[in-house]
Structure 1
Amino acid sequence: MLAQRATQQSLRRLAAGQPSMIAQYAMKKSFAPAAIGASIQTRPVATQKMTPESSYQILVEQRKHRPTSPHLAIYKPQIPWILSGLNRITGSVLSGGFYIFGSAYLVSPLFGWHLDSASMAAAFASWPVALKVLTKFAVAFPFTFHSINGVRHLVWDLGKAFKNDAVIKTGWAVVGLSVSSALALALY
């Protein structure tokens, strides 16, 4: 870095300096008359020693003048961005749940846990009916919502139903279909 700066400075000084008599004569003969050296602006390299604290303070002051992007607190909640966030959340919950349960299922014999199908079915059968329905709905809703909203996103990828009215209508359709299909799965 230092070698590059030194080279740049020396080339600038050479270009800005007064050309020799031979160079002036050659320039007058070969190019249109131009004041070589007189019209080139130079600026001395200005450096200063700074402590890390003072350079950090300069950076903090510069950040105060940068534009900030709007954030969620200033927007009115709308169905597209609510469902987009919910789609990401349900995807994370589903994938995280699969990883956690899959890992626990694989290591359960090592720790003496009873995660086999027979013991899990027996434990679930002993719960009250309301708790069973609630649990089944809580498990079914992320699946149904993420699947139906995923189809909606695939339709958008095809360039269809991407106008504001269609986005809002399909958003409410996704909510209705997800809740009704999750309830159907939970009740049966």
Structure 2
Amino acid sequence: MNSQKVAQQSLRRLASPSALTSSMAKFASPAAIATGRYMQIRPTSSTTTTNTVDPTKILPQQRLNRPVAPHLSIYRPQITWYASALHRITGSLASGALYVYASAYLIAPVIGWHLESASVAAAFGALPLLAKVLIKFGLAMPVTFHSLNGIRHLTWDFGKQLTNQQVIRTGWTVVGLSTAAALALALL
């Protein structure tokens, strides 16, 4: 039905004499093209620009005119932001510490360091009790938070606990459980 209306409207436009001459003036007849008697004409620009613009400044100028998306400054901070950022940071800290220690352990005999278990345990045992607890808590907190928050993310992957209230509750639960677990590991 719509295609018939479109066809009728286009035929009516072509039937009017003024539309026919103006629309057909743009196209050459197939016979003219076949015989080579058709010359394609393209208009040229005859105006000169008085104020030339440096091409390297066009893109920066366009960027200034683009709309700016709202950023963190207009939103109220939430536990999901902090948990997401801390999940990435703690993962980087835990893996980074592992890589640094493993690399140091591998090159220790060449350099002359003593990083074998007995010397590390003896050096750690010589520290005061508060220093031991703080070091153990500092090592345990990133690992426990990253592990428990990873379980939270796996729960989300199964489509569970996705409402706003559940996300907030599980976020604070992860913070509390990871702090308690890190403290328990530090006091061992």
Measured against the shorter chain, the TM-score band is: 0.7 to 0.9
TM-score (norm 1): 0.74
The aligned runs of 1:12-51 (5 Å cut-off) are: 17-20=26-29, 22=31
Q: Give the length in aligned residue pairs.
A: 153
Partner of 2:113, secondary structure, is coil
List structure 1 segments (4+ residues) > 3 angstroms apart after TM superposition: 15-18, 20-24, 42-46
TM-score (norm 2): 0.74
The aligned runs of 1:128-139 (5 Å cut-off) are: 128-139=128-139
Q: 1:43 to 1:104 in 2, by over 3 A?
A: farther
**Percent identity over paired residues:** 54
Give structure 1 stretches of 5+ with no counterpart.
1-14, 25-41
**Residues 102-154 of structure 1: CA distance to partner in whole angstroms, max 9, x if unpaired?**
11100100000111110000000000000100110000001100000000000
Q: Distance in 2 between matches of 1:114 and 1:93?
A: 24
Amino acid at match of 2:160: K
1:154 alignment partner in structure 2: 154
Q: Distance in 1 between matches of 2:112 and 2:25?
A: 83
1:116 alignment partner in structure 2: 116
Q: Distance in 1 between matches of 2:125 and 2:140?
A: 18
Give structure 2 stretches of 5+ with no counterpart.
1-23, 34-41
Q: Distance in 1 between matches of 2:178 and 2:45?
A: 65
> How far has the Cα of 1:55 moved from its partner?
1.2
2:36 alignment partner in structure 1: none
> How far has the Cα of 1:44 moved from its partner?
5.5
2:75 alignment partner in structure 1: 75
